[in-house]
Amino acid sequence: MKKRKFGNSKMKISQLGLGCMGMSEFYDTQDESESIKVIHYAIENGINFFDTADMYGVGENEKLVGKALIGKRGQVYIATKFGVLRGEDGSFLGNSGKPEYVKKACDNSLKRLKVDYIDLYYQHRVDPNTPIEETIGALSELVKKGKIRYIGLSEASEEIIKKASKVHPITAVQTEYSLWSHDLEAVFPICRELNIALVPYSPLGRGFLSGKYKSLKDFEKGDFRSSNPRFNKENFKKNLEIIKKVEEIAISKSVTPAQIALAWVLSKGTDIFPLTGTKKIKYLKENMESVDVKLKKDEIEKLDTLYNLVSGSRY
């Protein structure tokens, strides 16, 4: 898999990264040994960018990633996040970007990941009660101390990105982006102006765009998607029309809907590094093959219009 310069950093990142969130929480059941096999398969086949966060599984996902990458640190880049507060029982307690919290969170992530430094450290969600300049200032100190190499933002607006960049260079911005979530496009201009890498998460629309879910009965009990607006009974039925149109193009090219969805994201620029989130090698292999799917201009334009058919908000 091709490696590309990652924004304003010195890192060369694979075209696709592996998002590890679902390996510990939110999506169906979890299997640690299987997840580790997926991570190892990814490395063996050219993926060198792994994404986690301290809130996934209340720290358990970082532990999983750390365990999987023992002996492989020199082959990979690790991205993790701070800022979403959770109780030991998994309850959500708000966001924090306070300098003292940033430093403590970083130390905790380093311990769970069992590494000496984090390649890319994101603020997971902006704290409305802490000036972004203070948060980035704390992160800048962590860079100077060698605890992190680069700074990222997740779900940040153009205004926040501009303010943050005046304190320290921002290397990446992560936001949900797919055929049915165009939010990231709002910051394309500022990110490209400042040479900031774009990292889409959920490029398959939380799995919906794979075409594997045709009924609400396909989701296991406890799957958080069942409470997501786009997956409620009324919206789900309407959104199936999107899948039908993706499948038409997929059939014409003898590929899968998931590969079409990923190819569309990749078509938006060489500065885009989608995170594929899967717990099974067969789906990871399928996703990786999407880098070889070439879409024609008229196909891209047709796929662009599907956003107009989306029913329901993201959250």
pLDDT of res. 225: 74
Q: Each residue of 60-117: pLDDT tens digit?
A: 999 999 999 999 999 999 999 999 999 888 888 999 999 999 999 999 999 999 999 9
Residue 224 has pLDDT above 80, yes or no: no
Q: Catalytic residue positions? A: 56
* Pairing of the two strands 92-95 and 84-86: antiparallel
Provide the domain count of the chain: 1
pTM: 0.94
Give the model's pLDDT for residue 291: 97
Whether residue 238 lies inside any domain: the answer is: no
81: left (phi over 0), alpha (psi -120 to 50) or beta: beta
Torsion sign (Cα): 284, 288, 294, 300: positive
pLDDT, position 222: 62
- Work out the pLDDT band at 277, boundaries 50, 70, 90: confident
Task: Report the range of poorest mean pLDDT among 8-12, 52-56, 84-88, 265-269.
Answer: 84-88
Mean pLDDT for 167-192 is 97
Is residue 68 a part of any domain in this protein?
yes
Residue-level pLDDT at 27? 62
Whether 253 is in a domain gets the answer no
CA dihedral 255, 307, 199, 52 (to 10 degrees): -80
Output the domain CATH number for residue 183. Answer: 3.20.20.100
User: Cα separation of 58 and 25, whole Å?
Assistant: 9
The answer to whether position 215 is within a domain reads: no
Tell me which residue range forms the domain holding 165: 3-207+265-293
Whether 281 is covered by a domain: the verdict is yes
**Mean predicted lDDT score pLDDT of the chain:** 94
List all residues 6 or more positions away from 118 whose beta carbon is below 8 Å from its beta carbon.
78, 79, 80, 106, 109, 110, 147, 148, 149
- Confidence at 31, pLDDT banded by 50, 70, 90: confident
Look at residue 7 and tell me if it is in a domain: yes
Indicate the Cα dihedral angle 139, 160, 122, 1, nearest 10°: -130
- Residue 89 forms part of a structural domain: yes
Share of the chain above pLDDT 90, in %: 82
- Per-residue pLDDT reduced to its tens digit, 141-172: 999 999 999 999 999 999 999 999 999 999 99
Amino acid at 53: A
pLDDT of residue 216: 72
pLDDT value of position 95: 96
Confidence at 228, pLDDT banded by 50, 70, 90: confident
Is 288 inside a domain boundary? yes
Strands (E), 83-141: 84-86, 92-95, 118-123
- CA dist 219 and 152 (Å) reads 32
Bigger pLDDT: 233 or 223?
Answer: 233
pLDDT at position 169? 98
